[in-house]
Chains A and B, each alone.
Chain A
Amino acid sequence: MTVLPFLVVGAASGTLSLLVRSRRGWSTGIALLGLAWMAIVASGIGSTATIDIGGARLAGSDWLRLFAILGSVVGLLLVLVDMAAVHEPDAPGVIVLGLASAVLALAAADPAVAVIAATAGGLAGVLVAAPLGAASRAAFVGSRELRALAVAGTLAILATAWLARPLDNLVAAPAVFGIAYLAFTVAVAIRFGAIPFHLWAARVADAAPGVALPLLMAWGPAAFAAVALVWIDQSVAPLLVPLTTERAVLATIGALSIVLGLVAALIQDDLEHVVGYTIVADAGFVVLGLAVLDPAIWEPIRTWLLLFVVARSALAAWVVAVHGAFGTRRLAALAGWARRAPALAVALVVIGAAAVGWPGLVAWEARASIASMALPGPLATLTVVAPLVGIVIYGRILLVGLGREGAAVRGGRGERPGWPVPRPSRPMVGLSRVERAFERAGHLGSAVLDVIWTLPAATRSNRMPLASAAVLVLAGLAGAVAGGGLGVPAAARAAPIVEPGPQASPSAAASLNIPGGSGGAAPGSVEP
């Protein structure tokens, strides 16, 4: 099956969900149905299935299929957590549309089409960053987000356009490739909110609903980064231009984002900011990976992209559940949270373990490969061990949770499940065995009806346990993916179908030692 059904379901359900936004229940229901359907359809995407639409080729791949499945399942769980905890408007529809556009960008074989699709998808996030009818602060945040998206999109469109044609004369000026390469990779850094481009991202973390943060700051930019990776391998790497300065700039941005992002996350009091800055830190490894022009970077960077988006989505869901339970995201006001929400405490430990990892774990090895290929020895070692700061970040949150319960936690919802009404008593009055059997059957039917009638009220009164259960599932998924489960390494190794890269004439190519005189590294060349 091609990727088309996935896109159609995503576009239809996302649009419909936003069109009926005034009826929040309907809007969320449509988004949930859409995400469930998308997960089913995604599992059928063929790794070599292609379709041409108006000259634009959409191609499937193992990695794309896994991205689509994980995105749909994670989106579904995020919406469930949101529904149970805080139920923000518009977020479900935006998640569906954003995911569909990210998959469209990944499926487009031509990077020029892919960057436009990835930019269009990012715009959906403006709807939740500046919700209709919100205050001027929201307008300010939305306009800054739009500016960041426009600048990043423009840089990427220009870079792809510059190197997309015959480069007969251009190959004599290697600086051109450096500028285009830097433009596209800086665009990726802007989309991720990497330091020093993090200001807009910090403001979005302030204003956007927590459940939409993973899409705005991780899933959408991850698709953008994957497109950049294909483009670099196709248009820049085959030219064998060293681009030392440009790569050093990128490596600096990546390393700074990792270290400063972790430090920022460590000192934050607002849990959504902790999510935002840990995403920035994780994205640093992606930026670092883009500084490597060796095809061997494909597997670790694509592995890391999948691992970090799932782990950060789980953390965002955890924050939404805590916020819904206790009405605050301030760590200072959350003393004792773990006593009232032990399932969430377990989930945080699993998420922390998946995010930090240890030597030998797929997540750790992916980070180590990226750092060792992008940075010299001591710096690489420092960057590899930097995520261990995560132990302190998660430990601090957990320690607060184990303290004496504060007012917000005491007044919040606990995880203990309950039933909204007492069970009706039905005494047995039959005398013979037949009478009693008949009576028991009747009571059973009544009990089933009692449960069915009370189910909506029970769901409402058990929102916290339901949210915690969904977060636990997400944490388990993050743990599984971090350990290399669900076929992540194999999918990361598989090569996508891409359009041919820039064409340089044989003579011009020879002047730069271009093998074959043509860009566009054969996808097969990235196979280990």
Chain B
Amino acid sequence: MNPALAGIAAIVVGGAVVAVSARDPRVTVLAMLVVLLGAPLLVVPTPGPLPILARVAAALLAGRLLVIGLRGDLVGIGTAIGWPAEAFVAAAAAVAGFASHGLGAAALGPAEAQAAGFALAAVAAAPLITGRDVLRLGIGSMLLVQAAILVRQGLDAPAGDGEQLVIALLTIGLGGAVAVISAAARAAGALTVADDGGAGRLAGGLRRADAHRPTDRELARDAASGSR
């Protein structure tokens, strides 16, 4: 085990645990930034200055976009099981990832990257499956993609400069997408949004079929005609 890589992996996993546990969006964004900055370093040999610079710039831009989308004093719902439980889940997944390095064949990357990838995927699962907080769901999506990239770093040869550039674009895109969604939720007054469908429920508590929900434009028109 490479101690330096193990240290970076621990920081990345720690950042992921904080990102999915924190209720304060600023803490969440800061923790996500730690993940995005640390993930590119979990590779042997360390990439050249240009690719690293591209990934760092992309991480900072993604973080900045997230901050723009989260202005105000909104509060998220955080984790339901507490950060220690999230940390244990991450640790267990990291051990599994480290032990299964290569997934059946000789790997070309470090085991620490795969361990961190498994841990990130594990902590991303809960927000993705149960998340009603759009920031948490977005952070889960970002962590899941980062997990895949980390596992790829652990399995395959280091990414070339061109691939690093495309990953940087993906990072910015993810940050922007989460920021846009958070801004839309902020406009509605809360990060937690429900799938009300704008059409209520049918008799017997059944939810209306997705395909038959009125569009926002039609709801607005109905509201306007009702108020007249």
Contacts and interface: CB of A to CB of B under 8 A. Distances in A.
Interface in B199-228: 210-213, 215-216, 218, 221
Interface string A241-279: 000000000000000000000001000111011000100
Contacts of B134: 139-140, 142-143
Given A132-B184, A137-B198, A142-B181, A206 B213 contact: yes
Interface stretch (A111-119, A307-315, A363-371, A447-455): A111-119
A330 B103 CA distance: 52
B177 A142 contact: yes
Given A53-B162, A55-B161, A164-B156, A169 B105 contact: yes
A54 B161 contact: yes
Given A110-B163, A138-B216, A133 B183 contact: yes
Given A117-B166, A161-B152, A264 B157 contact: no
Interface string A153-176: 110011011101111111001001
B141 A146 contact: yes
For chain A, what secondary structure do more than half of its interface residues adopt (helix, strand, loop), or is it mixed? helix
A120 B142 CA distance: 12
B195 A165 contact: no
A203 interface: yes
Contacts of B216: 134-135, 137-138, 206-207
A113 B163 CA distance: 6
Nearest to A97: B173
A135 B187 contact: yes
B185 interface: yes
B211 A157 contact: no
A162 B155 CA distance: 7
A511 interface: no
In the A-B complex, list the 10 residue pairs whose CB atoms are closest, starting with the nearest.
A56-B162, A54-B161, A55-B160, A136-B188, A54-B162, A150-B141, A161-B152, A123-B173, A170-B105, A139-B184
21 contacts: A54-B164, A108-B166, A112-B156, A113-B166, A126-B176, A126-B177, A133-B187, A134-B184, A136-B184, A139-B182, A142-B180, A143-B181, A146-B138, A146-B181, A149-B141, A153-B170, A157-B145, A157-B152, A165-B105, A165-B157, A166-B105
Interface of B: 51, 103-108, 121, 128, 131, 134, 137-138, 140-142, 144-145, 147-149, 151-152, 155-157, 159-167, 169-170, 173-174, 176-178, 180-185, 187-190, 193-198, 210-213, 215-216, 218, 221
